[in-house]
Amino acid sequence: MPTLNEVLRSSEALSAADTDWIHLLVEDWQVLSDLSFGDLILWVHTDRGWTAAAHVRPTTGPMVFVEDLVGTICDAERGAWIDEAERAGATVPAPHSQRMGDMLTREEAVPVVRAGAVVAVLTRHINLSRVADPSELERTYTALADAMSRMIAAGEWPSPSAPTGLRRGSPRVGDGVIHLDAEGIVLYVSPNAHSALRRLGHDGPVVGAVLAQIITDQLQEGDQVDESLALVTLGRAAWRAEAATDRATMTLKAIPLTERRRRVGAFVLVRDVTELRRRESEMISKDATIREIHHRVKNNLQTVAALLRLQARRVDDGAGRTALLDAVRRVSTIALVHETLSSGFDETVSFDDVAVRGLRAVVELATSEHTIESAVHGTFGRMRAEDATSVAMIISELVQNAAEHGLAAHGGRIVVTAERGNEGGEDILRVSIEDDGEGLPQGFRIRRAGLGTRIVTSLVHDLRGTIRWDDVEPRGTRVRFSARLRPLSRSADVAR
Written as one string, the DSSP assignment of 401-439 is: HIIIIISTTT-EEEEEEEEEEEETTEEEEEEEEEE-SS-
The region of weakest confidence among 352-366, 409-423, 456-470 is: 352-366
Question: Is residue 168 domain-resident?
Answer: no
Other CB atoms within 10 A of residue 309 CB: 15
Question: Is residue 113 domain-resident?
Answer: yes
Other CB atoms within 10 A of residue 487 CB: 15
With both helix axes pointing from N to C terminus, report the angle between 385-401 and 351-366 in degrees, rounded to the nearest 10: 30
Question: Is residue 26 domain-resident?
Answer: yes
Residues 265 and 308 in one domain: no
Question: Is residue 162 domain-resident?
Answer: no
Residues 438 and 470 in one domain: yes
How many domains does the chain contain in total? 4
Residue 47, classed as helix, strand or coil, is coil
Residues 452 and 329 in one domain: no
Whether residue 23 has pLDDT greater than 70: yes
Entry field: residues in the chain: 496
Residue 209: CATH number of its domain: 3.30.450.20
Residues 428 and 491 in one domain: yes
- Written as one letter, the residue type at 132 is A
The candidate with the shortest Cα–Cα distance to 404, out of 366, 431, 371, 375, is 366
Question: Is residue 115 domain-resident?
Answer: yes
Q: What is the pLDDT of residue 448?
A: 65
Residue 76: CATH number of its domain: 3.30.450.280
Residues 256 and 283 in one domain: no
Pair 368, 338: CB distance under 8 Å: no
- Cα 125 to Cα 110: distance, rounded to the nearest angstrom: 11
Last residue of a domain, one of 153, 182, 204: 153
Residues 341 and 372 in one domain: no
Q: What is the pLDDT of residue 427?
A: 92
Residues 409 and 442 in one domain: yes
Q: What is the pLDDT of residue 294?
A: 64
Q: Decide which of 92 and 360 is more confident.
A: 92
Tens digit of pLDDT for each residue in 210-252?
999 999 999 887 667 788 899 999 999 999 999 988 889 999 9
Pair 238, 162: CB distance under 8 Å: yes
- Tell me the backbone φ, ψ of residue 265, rounded to 5 degrees: 160, -165
Enumerate the H helices of 29-68 as residue ranges: 30-36
Q: Is 232 exposed, middle or buried (0-12, 13-18, 19+ CB in 10 A)?
A: buried
Full residue range of the structural domain in which residue 288 is found: 274-346
Pair 37, 58: CB distance under 8 Å: yes
Q: Which helix (H) or strand (E) holds 38?
A: strand 38-46
Residue 308, classed as helix, strand or coil, is helix
| Local structure of residue 89 (DSSP, 8 states) | T
Residues 338 and 359 in one domain: no
130 pLDDT band, cuts 50/70/90, is low
Most confident of 33-42, 63-72, 129-138: 33-42
Residue 360: CATH number of its domain: 3.30.565.10
With both helix axes pointing from N to C terminus, report the angle between 319-342 and 351-366 in degrees, rounded to the nearest 10: 160
- Tell me the backbone φ, ψ of residue 409, rounded to 5 degrees: -75, -35
Beta-ladder partners of 189: 178
Nearest-10 Cα torsion for 257, 260, 262, 266:
0
- Cα 225 to Cα 219: distance, rounded to the nearest angstrom: 8
Pair 450, 460: CB distance under 8 Å: no
Pair 339, 379: CB distance under 8 Å: no
- Cα 368 to Cα 410: distance, rounded to the nearest angstrom: 10
Last residue of a domain, one of 297, 320, 346: 346
- Cα 137 to Cα 179: distance, rounded to the nearest angstrom: 11
Last residue of a domain, one of 272, 299, 322: 272
DSSP string, 203-264: -S--TTSBHHHHHHHHPPTT----TTHHHHHTT-SS-EEEEE-SS-EEEEEEEEEEETTEEE
152 pLDDT band, cuts 50/70/90, is very high
Question: Is residue 167 domain-resident?
Answer: no
Pair 65, 103: CB distance under 8 Å: no
The region of weakest confidence among 51-65, 105-119, 278-292 is: 278-292
Region 267-274: what's the mean pLDDT?
94
- The H helix count followed by the E strand count for the chain is 14, 18
Residues 282 and 364 in one domain: no
Residues 311 and 454 in one domain: no
Tens digit of pLDDT for each residue in 423-479?
888 999 999 999 988 888 777 777 666 777 888 889 999 999 999 989 888 888 999
- Written as one letter, the residue type at 249 is T
Pair 14, 6: CB distance under 8 Å: no
Say whether pTM exceeds 0.75. no
Q: What is the pLDDT of residue 96?
A: 75
- Cα 355 to Cα 364: distance, rounded to the nearest angstrom: 14
- Cα 131 to Cα 489: distance, rounded to the nearest angstrom: 46
Q: What is the pLDDT of residue 132?
A: 66
Q: Is 84 exposed, middle or buried (0-12, 13-18, 19+ CB in 10 A)?
A: middle
- Cα 347 to Cα 383: distance, rounded to the nearest angstrom: 9
Residues 489 and 378 in one domain: yes
- Cα 102 to Cα 62: distance, rounded to the nearest angstrom: 14
Residues 254 and 311 in one domain: no
